[in-house]
Chains A and B, each alone.
Chain A
Amino acid sequence: MIVLRKPFAKAGPLNILMAALVLAWTALQMVPARAATTASAPGAVVYFHYPLDGARVPQRFTVKIGLKEMGVAPAGVVKEFTGHHHLLVDTDMVPLDQPIPSDYNHIHLGNGQTETVLTLPPGTHTLQLLLGDHQHIPHQPPVMSKKITIYVR
């Protein structure tokens, strides 16, 4: 701030550098703040009860989801250390600082479900679980399962 009080006309190279730094810092502060993230509980784990990695499953099967150290709450409910499940089917991990998309590949269990029936065409598929907060945004640090591969017969 002291730097800014000096007249710019007579500014030496060092002063210009410092002014630039201050300007850059101001610009950084003005970057729109990201949506506030919700903290996850330490040691929280989301995992598949069924199917397990490498399982062979029929075309229609129930995915059962387990959650350790945290609770389940429907979407829209603001409560510490809770969230709702999202099942990612045949897709890569989504950006973790944005709401999880909602489509056939990103199944939201927004009513607090802990299991869901899935119908998939025969072949190899991948499944992954990701917990989202009341706004469908992953927690910080994110609570996600490892990506499992299943074979639909």
Chain B
Amino acid sequence: MRQSVSLVTQRLKDLGAAVRSGNLFVLEAHVSVTGEQLMYRFFFRVCLVVLAIITLDARIEASAQQPVRKPSAPNARIFFVDLKDGATVPSKLKIRFGIENMEVAPAGTVKPNTGHHHLLIDTGLPPLDQPIPSDFNHIHFGGGQIEAEITLPAGEHTLQLLLGDQSHIPHQPPVFSEVIHVRVDPATVEKARTPAPAGAGVFFVEPADGATVGRKLTVKFGISGMELVPAGTSKPNSGHHHLLIDAPLPAFDREIPSDLNHVHFGRAQTEAEINLTPGDHTLQLLLGDHEHIAHDPPVFSKVIHIHVADAAPDKAPPQAAAADGRRPSPPDAAVYFIYPGNGERIYPNSTIRFGLRNMGVAPAGVFKPNTGHHHLMIDVETPPLDRPLPSDLNHIHFGNGQTEKKITLSPGEHTLQLILADEKHMPHDPPVISERIKVTVKAAVRPPARRRFRR
């Protein structure tokens, strides 16, 4: 009796293993237990175990290949803002993405109920259990953007949004928008780049490649095989110069940037005076058409390397000598008081806090472009800015790179002013200087309350 019970248990176990492993064909009955059948059964079980291992292994592999999909929030919805199905749109259009019941987070952010947008252009939904492809038809907004400017060719297009998780995999259930059909107005399609004739070129006349020059130098350039016209003049085989200073060639299919590194000569100039910091620089010319877009093929010169000597050569104007040795500061740099504000009443023992915009702090003695250290002027007029700042009780140097200082002032009215100066305590050019603020120091009654932080 006991034997038959154990046999039944054994069979049930086999059956369970078979069902678990998915091999249902092993449901074979073992009726009696002869020695031969015992051998068969042993062989059979070995086969079963092997099969089970193979099946389990395959399943584990399959689950490893299939990435885990993040759950989406119930009622989550993404949609195009202000873009109707069937709309006629310009070639270059700004589209905005809306989201409801979930949040946008940059790719890589692990946070429940978040994702980032993917724009599908002229394509159906990709496989939803894999990372969304990244190509011209599947545009990722991994920075968490909620709007984008896209350029579409003329004709009919479809647009659809699909939310992806931190590893670009759609959620479970997937969150996607309805498909929007748009028609691009052919009149708005941007014209092709202006063609340039073969053999056209731009070149430097001055300075020569490898030349050593002063800080203020004149650059002269020329053009061959094309005509030089001011910007805005649309005429075949013409253009105007752009000087690239320490910058690589920009993208050819859009407007050449206009900044300190990309100087436009929109009045068809062939020479320009530029100021450069001492050191090595590169210069390159790029011709742009009436809309500042490079030609097709682009017309550019070879890159020339120049060295700007620290000491101004004899050609430099004499007034530059006074400014010599002053480090340049970026045009938008500013130093200011975070505390106290102008006209504020402060305690005799107060921490003065300094702010600095668009520059960095470096201790005295350390030179790095666009850095300096703070100097606090107490109860003095602004000192001369073309020589090193004095160092005394009224001109406090913060040569260790401090950005705040607790000072003790006598009761009464005081003035405070901040000046940034370079590693040799010389103010920059143009000087980075705060307004001169007035503070009233009240008589000491109790120590000032700590407002901001506790230790």
Contacts and interface: CB of A to CB of B under 8 A. Distances in A.
B355 interface: yes
A72 B360 contact: yes
Given A114-B355, A114-B356, A47 B452 contact: yes
Nearest to B338: A49
B370 interface: yes
Contact of A67 (B111, B114, B363, B404): B404
Given A68-B404, A73-B401, A82-B401, A121 B104 contact: yes
A111 to B, nearest CB: 4
B362 A90 contact: no
B287 to A, nearest CB: 34
B104 A122 contact: yes
A66 B104 contact: no
Nearest to B141: A121
A66 B403 contact: yes
Interface in B122-161: 143-146
Contact of B353 (A66, A82, A109, A112): A66
Contact of B103 (A49, A65, A104, A123): A123
B368 interface: yes
A74 B362 contact: yes
A123 B356 CA distance: 28
A71 interface: yes
Interface residues of B, number: 37
Contacts of B362: 72-74, 77, 112
Contacts of B361: 71-74, 112-114
Given A49-B338, A79-B366, A115-B357, A74 B371 contact: yes
B338 A111 contact: no
B189 to A, nearest CB: 31
Contacts of A65: 403
Given A71-B361, A73-B363, A114-B361, A49 B355 contact: yes
Interface in A97-149: 104-105, 109, 111-115, 120-123
Interface string A58-91: 0000001111101111100101011000000010
A96 interface: no
A49 B352 CA distance: 13
Contact of A77 (B109, B363, B404, B453): B363
Contact of A115 (B105, B355, B368): B355
Contacts, number: 107
A39 interface: no
A45 interface: yes
Contacts of B368: 74, 77, 111-112
A12 interface: no
Nearest to A113: B360
A72 B366 contact: no
A43 interface: yes
Nearest to A80: B400
A48 B146 CA distance: 28
A77 B360 contact: no
Contacts of A120: 144
Residue in A67, A71, A77, A115 whose Cβ sees the most chain B Cβ within 10 Å: A71
A79 B398 CA distance: 14
Contacts of B103: 121-123
Contacts of A114: 354-356, 360-361, 403
Contacts of A66: 338, 353, 403-404, 452
B106 to A, nearest CB: 7
Nearest to B400: A71
A122 B114 CA distance: 11
Contacts of A45: 453, 455
B413 to A, nearest CB: 26
Interface of B: 103-106, 108-109, 111, 114, 143-146, 338, 351, 353-357, 359-363, 366, 368, 370-371, 398, 400-404, 452-453, 455
